[in-house]
Amino acid sequence: MKRLATPVSPATSRAALASLAYLFVSLVWVWGSDRIAEQWLSSAGLRWNVQTVKGFLFVTATAVYLFFLSRSFAGRAAASHPQPECTLEGRTVLIRRLGDLLAARRGGTLLVLDVDGMRLVNESLGHDAGDALMQSVAAALVSCAPPQGVPFRLDGDEFALLLPEVDPEGGYELALELQRRLGSLDRQAGQRGRVSFCSGLVPLRPGMEPQDVLLVGQLLLHRAQQWGQGRILPPPDDAELAALHAMARWGKRLSAALRNGSLFLEYQPVVHLERGGVAYAEALLRLRDEDGETYPAGTFLNAAEEFRLMPEVDRWCLEQVIATLEGMPDLHLFINLSGQSLRDPAQRRWIARRVEQARAVAHRLTFEITETAWAGDAETLRAWMDEMRALGCGFALDDLGQGFSSLSALANLPVNVVKIDGSFVTGLAHNPASRLVVEAIHRLATDLGLQVVAEWVEDEDTRLRLCEIGVELGQGFHLGRPGPLSALVESLNPAAS
């Protein structure tokens, strides 16, 4: 981190030397012969009084020289007596201190905070101003912390304050005081506007793991940031803390699974309802833990979204699906694509490049998106989907009917397939309203030239009712459960089994 006081710059030193030379020349002029000075003025066509010109030059040169000389002395003084840096320990030391505190079964609170608008500060005012602001925040943390409190700098503009034996309510009051303290740093830190931060507080409980405490703090911080700048979330109650703790454990397990290869795919067939036979298959993500137990994606996807792991998960899934398609020329696969990937321009570019590299199989690849995933800049998303369709792949709108914007999605997004939300399909046998919804979706999609897939086909009665409506494709346990690739191969070619 840069010091707040810096030595005199080389430009200032050069200017001081230049002004000294200018002063020397002016002194020679003042002390020189009046007759020579008059000749110079006359040759220049100037009829000025020689003594007046000499006096003006002398005063100007002296003032310029003294100005740069004072700058030089001030810079050297600052360099010899710099302001001390407020250096904070990092994440590793915080984990160790948390471990010691939890092992001793001492209570306390962890405050995790992130300074608002640092990217704007760095881009508009420069990184020196950003460094100065971070130094001021660190100093404010030190001054606000109680005697037993320890501040840490986790990463960039993210800080933490460990408060042993301070209850969550006391930590919340301290966070409010710190927010007020930082509000006075705007001008002295070089930032235009009030300095603020978002934060979350984690009560320390027996049985917690140090890394889980920090993960819970970052979850709360992300939630605070979703509310806007300057949000300090109150400490969670016991039920919310338990839920966050469980989510943190899943986030940690998923991060490990991405590294150690314990993620895998299962495949569920999409079947022709009238005549049977597999039309497509959907690739479904699974996680196998160290005990060999398998978990479906719904168990851990909330944690993946909270910890912003979905783009990495989507990249892993796409690589596996492309490899499967390249090895099975008769297979057409659906793959889910998260909202985090759709909203990330860099991720969209990566997906487009990867599909272009696998263009030979792109026509057998369909991305499933939900209406909630595309909420946002529909124009940008539609342009990207058109680009992807030009490469050969398709798009399916998943869970159609679940939300109020489904019809808008149908009208505005270039999809090939619609998948009727399973909650309507399972109600066909006993709920006339569900049948009306399925019939309306089927009629509308057919008029638009789209294929229709009914989800959650769980029994023969439901299959028959869908055939009556005219729905051609279905997916559900009655038609085929998710399983390994070998089972899907057998269903595609029963004679080979």
Q: How confident is the model at residue 191 (pLDDT cuts 50, 70, 90)?
A: very low
Task: Point out the least confidently predicted range of 67-71, 169-173, 211-215, 409-413.
Answer: 67-71
Secondary structure class of 386 (helix, strand, coil): helix
Q: How confident is the model at residue 7 (pLDDT cuts 50, 70, 90)?
A: very low
Between 46 and 349, where is the model more confident?
349
Residue 322: what residue type? I
168: left (phi over 0), alpha (psi -120 to 50) or beta: alpha
Which residues are CB-contacts of 419 (< 8 A; sequence separation ≥ 6)?
Answer: 368, 396, 397, 398, 399, 400, 452, 453, 454, 455, 475
Task: Tell me what pLDDT residue 86 has.
Answer: 60
Between CA 4 and CA 264 the distance in angstroms is 52
Q: Choose among 329, 331, 262: nearest CA to 293.
A: 262
Between CA 262 and CA 287 the distance in angstroms is 6
173: number of CA atoms within 13 Å, CB side? 5
- Cβ atoms of 415 and 387 closer than 8 Å: no
Q: Choose among 365, 303, 302: nearest CA to 328.
A: 365
The crossing angle, in degrees rounded to 10, of helices 345-357 and 378-391 is 10
Between CA 5 and CA 1 the distance in angstroms is 12
Q: Choose among 342, 308, 106, 311: nearest CA to 218.
A: 308
Place of tokens 């915080």: 94
Arithmetic mean of pLDDT, 421-427: 91
Say how many Å lie between the first and final Cα of the chain, rounded: 66
Cross-strand partners of 164: 108
Q: How confident is the model at residue 34 (pLDDT cuts 50, 70, 90)?
A: low
In 448-484, where does DSSP find H-type helix? 460-469
Kind and range of the H or E run holding 492: helix 485-492
Q: Choose among 343, 338, 336, 341: nearest CA to 380.
A: 343
Q: Choose among 177, 166, 236, 229: nearest CA to 201.
A: 236
Between CA 195 and CA 135 the distance in angstroms is 13
Residue 28 tokens, joined: 């020679």
Task: Tell me what pLDDT residue 451 has.
Answer: 96
353: left (phi over 0), alpha (psi -120 to 50) or beta: alpha
Q: How confident is the model at residue 56 (pLDDT cuts 50, 70, 90)?
A: confident
Q: Choose among 419, 402, 405: nearest CA to 367.
A: 419
Q: How confident is the model at residue 350 (pLDDT cuts 50, 70, 90)?
A: very high
pLDDT digits (tens, 9 = 90+) for 136-154: 888 888 888 898 899 999 9
The Cβ of residue 128 has, within 10 Å, a number of other Cβ atoms equal to: 13
Residue 125 tokens, joined: 């005012």
- Cβ atoms of 214 and 245 closer than 8 Å: no
**CA dist list (Å): 388 to 183, 335, 351, 366:** 47, 14, 9, 10
Between CA 478 and CA 483 the distance in angstroms is 14
Residue 476: what residue type? G
Between CA 244 and CA 440 the distance in angstroms is 40
Cross-strand partners of 334: 282, 366
Between 180 and 152, where is the model more confident?
152
Task: Tell me what pLDDT residue 155 has.
Answer: 83
- Cβ atoms of 160 and 220 closer than 8 Å: no
Between CA 368 and CA 475 the distance in angstroms is 14
pLDDT digits (tens, 9 = 90+) for 352-375: 999 999 999 999 999 999 877 665
278 has pLDDT over 50: yes
pLDDT digits (tens, 9 = 90+) for 151-170: 999 988 899 999 999 999 99
Q: How confident is the model at residue 43 (pLDDT cuts 50, 70, 90)?
A: confident
Q: Choose among 191, 194, 180, 202: nearest CA to 229.
A: 194
